[in-house]
Amino acid sequence: MADDTTDTKSSNQMWGGRFASGPDAIMEEINASIGFDKKLFAQDIRGSIAHATMLAHQGIISAEDKDKIVHGLNTILSEIESGNFEFSRQLEDIHMNVEARLATLIGPAAGRLHTARSRNDQVALDFRLWVKEELEKTEQMLTGLIAAFLDRAEEHAESVMPGFTHLQTAQPVTFGHHCMAYVEMFGRDRSRVRHAIEHLDESPIGAAALAGTGYPIDRHMTAKALGFREPTRNSIDTVSDRDFAIEFLSIAAIAGMHLSRLAEEIVIWSTPQFGFVRLSDAFSTGSSIMPQKKNPDAAELVRAKTGRINGSLVALLTIMKGLPLAYSKDMQEDKEQVFDAAESLELAIAAMTGMVRDMTVNTARMKAAAGSGYSTATDLADWLVREAGLPFRDAHHVTGRAVALAESKGCDLAELPLSDLQAINPDITDKVYDVLTVEASVASRKSFGGTAPSEVRRQIAFWRDRN
Ligand code: ARG
């Protein structure tokens, strides 16, 4: 599959009619997209088969020519799939590479394929088909990641861990609840993917260069054959729009941001200082100099891939922002961004799904950390409101004094003797100790969406139904 870089000075066989000589070598290099758009070969051939079939059905080309074209295209498909196709840079892109080969295979009939079509609607079609398939793959992969989290959440619906704000211990939560937070995020990412599929489910082919065509084509027929809901409605928009690609990149960037936050948590949790999780050998690496180390490289790379995806989104937005309607060659630069982001996103989701499934959760470490840092102080304040009738602000103040006292004594709230607590507020009774444990704390938070195990199980059931 070597790119042919020889600089012959003959003009381009596809569009060179009015040109006396061929392009300068640099022109060829900057112009050619075959190096990356060969990835679209299957979509290109599918699109051409649908187009040729429609042309014959409408009497625009003969059935005989259509048969030759379809047969030739199928031959090219297997040539490319088996690695027996020579891509040529002189032929610029995948569209012209396929068409030139078709001419070699079937002769003059090949020249009829491009009737009522332009590379502008052809590339819009190929790329849309590719992005649609990628979105479908992303949807499935997110479903797999959600399933991994649901399993871990179920297993740990009762495991207590510290919940953080500002990365400072805030209140005890359950690990199951924390897992379910990610289920919500990836669930929204998946619904964004589904909406994007709906948005792009319109067939571009037949918009031609930009104005439509005078041939009696049937765009509904090609739309149906290619699995689109309907044809696009405006030919100018059709060839100049790339927001389906930008939407893919935005979704990838948002999902990437979620994946990266998870990656960051895994990096923190797996430090010896935290020790909340242990990554499996399959998703970590050792150090070449420090034998004790187990590094969360996969999580770190997920975090980094997100930077790359963001770069692709900004690149394509910037490429598109100044373009007058309709097609400009700038738009050729859309593909690499999307291909690169798609590869990064797939890898990131796959790696995270593996890590989440494989990691060992150290519930003892989590529980010990959950109880430190006066994490049940809010429970003491709530008890004072509920049992002693204090306004919350006063209860907050009393609790603050209890925390300060415990701090000065170097003990936990639950370790303060009753006499100490009563010296701060005489209404406190020994019943207060029931709410100062981390288990009591999480069990009490039964509000809708809260961290109580019963509530987490309800959330899990909700998502199991939808996954
Ligand atoms: N390789 C081109 C692209 O990716 C195909 C469309 C070319 N159209 C044109 N009018 N030159 O955008």
pLDDT digits (tens, 9 = 90+) for 48-66: 999 999 999 999 999 999 9
Q: Is the Cβ–Cβ distance between 404 and 377 less than 8 Å? A: no
Q: What spacing in Å lies between the alpha carbon of 89 and ligand 1's midpoint? A: 14
Task: Give the distance (Å) from ligand 1 centre to CA of residue 360.
Answer: 51
Q: What is the pLDDT of residue 370?
A: 92
Q: What percent of the chain has pLDDT over 70?
A: 98
| Rounded mean pLDDT, 113-128 | 98
Peptide bond into 225 cis (omega under 30): no
Q: How far is the CA of 332 from the centre of ligand 1 (A)?
A: 6
CA-proximal residue: ligand 1, atom 4 (nearest): 332
Confidence of residue 83 (pLDDT cuts 50, 70, 90): very high
What is the distance in angstroms between the CA of the first residue and the CA of the last residue of the chain?
A: 42
Prior bond to 252 cis, omega within 30? no
Lowest mean pLDDT among 92-96, 137-141, 289-293, 301-305: 289-293
Query: What's this model's pTM, rounded to 2 decimal places?
Result: 0.91
- Give the mutation target among 119, 130, 337 for probing the ligand 1 site: most ligand atoms within 8 A of CB: 119
Check residue 163 and give its pLDDT: 96
Beta bridge pairs of residue 73: none
Residues 6 or more apart whose Cβ sits within 8 Å of residue 46:
129, 226
Average pLDDT score over residue span 13-33: 84
pLDDT tens, position by position, 129-179: 999 999 999 999 999 999 999 999 999 999 999 999 999 998 999 999 999
pLDDT for 225-274, tens place per residue? Answer: 999 999 999 999 999 999 999 999 999 999 999 999 999 999 999 999 99
Gap between the Cα atoms of 369 and 301, Å rounded: 28
Tens digit of pLDDT for each residue in 433-465?
989 889 999 999 999 999 999 999 999 999 999
The protein residue whose alpha carbon is closest to atom 3 in ligand 1 is 332
Q: What is the percent of the chain with per-residue pLDDT over 90, rounded to a whole number?
A: 87
Nearest CA to ligand 1 atom 1: 93
Cα–Cα dist 162/293, whole Å: 25
What band does 337 get if pLDDT is binned at 50, 70 and 90?
very high
Distance CA 170, CA 186 (A): 24
Distance 119 CA to ligand 1 centre (A): 6
Short-list 94, 87, 114, 104, CA closest to 33: 94
Q: Which residues line ligand 1 (CB under 6 A)?
A: 33, 37, 93, 119-120, 123, 327, 329, 331-332
* Residue 353 and residue 141 in contact, taking contact as beta carbons nearer than 8 Å: yes
Residue 5 — pLDDT band, cuts 50, 70, 90? very low
Q: Can 178 be counted among the known catalytic residues? A: no
Select from 195, 199, 232 the least CA-distant residue to 120: 232
For a ligand 1 pocket test, name from 130, 319, 332, 339 the mutation site with the most ligand atoms within 8 angstroms of its C-beta: 332
Tell which atom from ligand 1 comes closest to the C-alpha of 93.
1
Is it the case that residue 6 has pLDDT exceeding 60?
A: no
DSSP-derived 3-state class of residue 156: coil
Q: Is the pLDDT of residue 395 over 60?
A: yes
Is residue 57 among the annotated active site residues? no
Residue among 10, 62, 287, 328 flagged as catalytic:
287
Q: What is the pLDDT of residue 4?
A: 45
pLDDT value, residue 79: 98
Report the separation in Å between the CA atom of 30 and the middle of ligand 1, taken as the mean of its atom positions.
13
pLDDT at 9: 56
Mean pLDDT, range 332-354, rounded to an integer:
98
Residue 286: pLDDT over 80 = no
d(CA 371, CA 368) in angstroms, rounded, equals 6
Ligand 1 atom closest to 37 (CA): 4
pLDDT tops 70 at residue 2? no
Does residue 271 sit in helix, strand or coil? coil
